[in-house]
Structure 1
Amino acid sequence: MKKWIWLAAALLLALCAYVAAGPYLTIRAIQQAVQEDDTRALARQVDFPALRSSLKLQLDDYLVRSAGADAQGSALGQIGLRIASGVAGGAVDAMVTPVGLAAMMEGRRVWRRVDVRALPQQPAGEPAAKPLQDAERRYESPSRFTATVHDDAGRPVVFVLTRDGLRWRLSDIRLPL
Structure 2
Amino acid sequence: MKKWLWLAAAVLVALLAWTASGPYRTVNAIRDAAQARDAAAMAKQVDFPALRSSLKAQLGGHLLREVGAPSPDNPFAVFGLGIANGLVGGLVDTMVTPTGLGAMMEGRKVWDRASGLPPPSSDEARTSSEPRPLQDAQYRYESLSRFTATVHDDQGRPVVFVMTRHGLDWKLSDIRLPLQEPAP
TM-score normalized with structure 1 length: 0.89
CA displacement at 1:152 relative to structure 2: 1.9
Unpaired stretches in structure 2, ≥5 consecutive residues:
180-184
State the 4+ residue runs in structure 1 displaced beyond 6 angstroms: none
> Structure 1 counterpart of 2:169, which letter?
R
Distance 1:45 1:76, change over 3 A: same
1:124 aligns with 2:123: yes
Residue by residue over 1:113-165, the C-alpha shift from the partner in whole angstroms, topping out at 9 and shown as x without a partner, is 45433x65485373734211211110000000011111122211100000010
CA displacement at 1:68 relative to structure 2: 1.9
Report sequence identity in percent.
61
1:48 aligns with 2:31: no
Contact 2:55 2:175 in 1 (8 A): yes
1:144 maps to which residue?
146
Q: SS at the partner of 2:123?
A: coil
Find the aligned partners of 1:172 and 1:40 in 2 and give their Cα distance: 19
Distance 1:18 1:66, change over 3 A: same
Find the aligned partners of 1:43 and 1:136 in 2 and give their Cα distance: 23
Contact 1:34 1:106 in 2 (8 A): no
1:157 maps to which residue?
159
Unpaired stretches in structure 1, ≥5 consecutive residues:
none
1:7 maps to which residue?
7
Contact 1:134 1:149 in 2 (8 A): yes
1:32 aligns with 2:18: no
1:20 maps to which residue?
20
Q: SS at the partner of 1:148?
A: strand
1:103 maps to which residue?
103
> Structure 1 counterpart of 2:15, which letter?
L
Residue by residue over 1:78-106, the C-alpha shift from the partner in whole angstroms, topping out at 9 and shown as x without a partner, is 22111100111011111112232223323
**Residue of structure 2 aligned with 1:170, choices 157, 162, 172:** 172
Residue by residue over 1:8-39, the C-alpha shift from the partner in whole angstroms, topping out at 9 and shown as x without a partner, is 11111000001111111111111111222222
Q: SS at the partner of 1:116?
A: coil
Find the aligned partners of 1:154 and 1:131 in 2 and give their Cα distance: 16
Contact 1:46 1:170 in 2 (8 A): yes
Find the aligned partners of 2:97 and 2:85 in 1 and give their Cα distance: 19
Find the aligned partners of 2:109 and 2:154 in 1 and give their Cα distance: 13
